[in-house]
Amino acid sequence: MSFSSDVKTELTGLIPSACCTKAEAFGMLIFGRAFSLSEISLMTEIQAVAEHYSTSIRDLTGVTPELTCSKAGNYKINIPTRAERLKILEYFGYTGKEITLRVNLSNLEQTNDDCCSKAFLRGAFLVCGSVTDPQKDYHIEFSVTKAKLCEDLMQIIGDLGLRCKKIIRSNSYVVYAKEAESIEDYIGTMGANNAFLEVMQTRAMKDIKNQINRRSNFESANLSRSIEAGLKQVAIIEEILSKIKLSDMTKDLSELCSLRLENPDISLDELGKMMNPELSRSAVSRRFKKLEKIAAELKTR
């Protein structure tokens, strides 16, 4: 199963409170394949979603949907008769004569914790949503076929304090969000606690790996700079020694020259610790500046 299927299966296992049962079922119905007097239906590949959709309709309205499964494993839920479809529509406050289908907010009780709005969002996600495996990417979306329903969904999402954007894809309106924090917010809001923890853990592991990579890249860059600087210093020393002997130099400079020639790839800090007595990085740097000055003077002779 995919991560998205796992999230949906987890959500179908939740037991909503009395006031949220209707809101969740409403979310599934209005964002399902069809919700009108001529057709009320849903298509899904997830058995748990198909059964949850059917059970919710039966328990709330007394109408038992027809549930079939194709050889390919696709589930179709259908309300066969016009009278049954009308009964369901009227239960949620519709007549079947609506010119434009909009979200009837009376099916979402207003509570301090917005539990019914969260349940409605959960229902919508079960039938028209998907979420990418956080190991691969951070992306959640809802694919809606009607523009006004898309606007209503975005309004409810915004009222819940969640961020979203909209694009049009293949004649559908896609409401989506990216970034790990947003995915955590959506999944947590809908109540999929196990998936929420999985996204958090994945995000934490990715952050650790990114920190390690950044540190490694930083250290590699520093090492490259140290080697490059060391080779330049070796070149300066060799240029000086082509004209004067090491013994002709002061003890402090001759010691530094000898150590650098023996250790061309170490940093100034490491070089300073090898000196007797030990020197700071800045002190070693100052001595190299003296060597640069000597090399420049020797060139003019």
pLDDT of residue 56: 95
The DSSP line for 90-125 is HHTT--S--SS----GGGS---TT-HHHHHHHHHHH
| One domain, residues 89 and 237 | no
Question: Any alpha helices (H) in the chain, and if so which ranges?
Answer: 3-12, 18-30, 47-61, 82-91, 115-128, 147-159, 180-190, 193-241, 251-262, 268-274, 281-299
pLDDT value of residue 188? 94
User: Could you give the CA distance from residue 176 to residue 163 in angstroms, rounded to a whole number?
Assistant: 9
Q: Token pair 């959640």 is at which residue? A: 140
- Residue 99 included in any domain: yes
pLDDT for 17 equals 87
Of 201, 233, 248, the one marking the end of a domain is 201
The predicted pLDDT at position 192 comes to 92
Query: Is residue 194 domain-resident?
Result: yes
Shared-domain flag, residues 241 and 165: no
Q: In this structure, is residue 116 part of a structural domain?
A: yes
Token pair belonging to 109 = 């009780």
Domain count of the chain? 2
Average pLDDT of adjacent 10-residue blocks, the chain of 301 residues: 92 90 96 95 95 96 94 93 96 93 92 89 96 92 95 96 94 92 93 89 80 76 78 86 84 86 86 88 88 83 68
Query: Is 280 a member of any domain?
Result: yes
**For residue 235, what pLDDT is reported?**
87
* 14 and 157 inside one domain: yes
> pLDDT at position 141, please?
96
Same domain, 31 and 94: yes
Evaluated on CA atoms 261, 266, 270, 272, the torsion sign reads positive
Same domain, 131 and 236: no
Residue 179 belongs to some domain of the structure: yes
The pLDDT score that the predictor gives to residue 271 is 87
Q: Which amino acid is at 37?
A: L
pLDDT at 246: 80
Same domain membership, residue 259 and residue 190: no
Q: Do residues 131 and 8 both lie within one domain?
A: yes
Strands 66-69 and 40-44: unpaired
158 and 11 in a common domain: yes
Domain identity same for 175 and 229: no
Q: Tell me what pLDDT residue 222 has.
A: 73
> What pTM was computed for the model?
0.72
Same structural domain, 154 and 46: yes
Question: What is the rounded distance in angstroms from the CA atom of residue 15 to the CA atom of residue 233?
Answer: 72
Question: Tell me, what's the pLDDT at 18?
Answer: 84
Q: Are 97 and 197 contained in the same domain? A: yes
| CATH number for the domain harbouring residue 141 | 3.10.28.10
What is the pLDDT at residue 111? 77
Name the residue range of residue 42's domain. 3-201
Q: Do 239 and 134 reside in the same domain of the chain?
A: no
Is the residue at 292 inside a domain? yes
Q: What is the pLDDT of residue 119?
A: 95
